[in-house]
Amino acid sequence: MSQDPMLEKLEAILNYTLLTFNEEPLTVGEVLIIPVWLALSFWGVRLIIKAVTGALSRREKDPNIIQLIERVIVVIAIAIVFMTTLSMLNVPIAAFAFLSGAIAIGFGFGAQNIINNFISGWILIGEKPIRIGDFLEVEGVKGIVEEINTRSTRIRRTDGVHLLIPNSKLLENTVVNWTLRDRLVRGTVRIGVAYGSDCQQVSQLMLDASKAQANVLQTPEPAVFFQDFGDNALIFEVFFWINSTVDGGLRAVSSEIRYEIDRQFNQAGIVIAFPQRDIHVDGSLKLIRN
């Protein structure tokens, strides 16, 4: 039975040899199947990643572990797809190794920062000095880590603005991680009272005002210190601890403590000091009435 002329023509086109590499012909059909293979491969990898991360999320695993597993799957998948693609193109690995080495050297000189940030990202995920959900302070900026990517880490500042910080910067510079080991954050409220106030009463009222807040931990226990004899006031400071992952939590508790201190001081008749100046005039003053 004779074959359809259109099919014969299509078959001839697909079997047409574009070039010969290492004595192996490379046909049009082999070249055209590569995009299809790559599209199906990456689609399959996305399904695998989605299934694995979904299962881990349902089990409430650490987001850092989930991201690490996701990145490992991507690297392994890229390696498998790359090797398979070379095999489909009849490109021997040994022949490609020399070419890839030369390309890697040239690329390395031109992309040192990218490679540095890429490796730094793996170190951040592996060693976990910084994790997703940590509260950081970087060069005076505070925020929560939302995502550790290949090149940079995304941080949401306390004012809602997102920052993208290169991973290498987080390793090479000083970073304050408020939640590295636990969620304990210490806060302070400083206040000055008028000279002549009952210091013991002031200390007790400040302690009571701190302990009255539900978010203030009883262990470690709040403590009040008589800090100094100021120019215009007796300076007291209360130290307290809370469990918090955001800067706003500490500020909210500090505000509530100040409200409570002000209320209790008013009831007890304790005056919160304000700057005062005594002026001494040498000689005499003469008041002239118009």
Quick: pLDDT tens for 74-123: 878 888 887 777 777 666 666 555 556 655 665 555 567 777 777 888 78
Q: How many CB atoms lie within 10 A of CB 184?
A: 13
What pTM, to 2 d.p., does this model score?
A: 0.56
* Residues 6 or more apart in contact with residue 132 via CB below 8 angstroms: 63, 64, 67, 145, 146, 147, 148
CA gap 194, 208 in Å, rounded:
20
173 burial (CB, 10 Å; 0-12 / 13-18 / 19+) is exposed
Lowest mean pLDDT among 2-6, 67-71, 184-188, 238-242: 2-6
Coil, helix or strand at residue 223: strand
- When pLDDT is averaged across residues 212-226 and rounded to a whole number, the result is 91
pLDDT, residue 103, reads: 58
Q: Hey, which bits of 202-243 come out as E strands?
A: 223-229, 234-243
Task: Select from 194, 193, 182, 184 the least CA-distant residue to 253.
Answer: 184
Residue 29 has pLDDT above 90, yes or no: no
pLDDT, residue 96, reads: 58
Q: Which residues pair with 153 in a beta bridge?
A: 148, 165
Helices 93-110, 63-88: inter-axial angle, 10-degree rounding: 130
CA gap 15, 27 in Å, rounded:
5
Question: What type of residue is 121?
Answer: G
What is the average pLDDT value for the chain, to the nearest integer?
Answer: 80
Most confidently predicted of 75-84, 94-103, 164-173, 234-243: 234-243
How many percent of the chain have pLDDT more than 70?
77
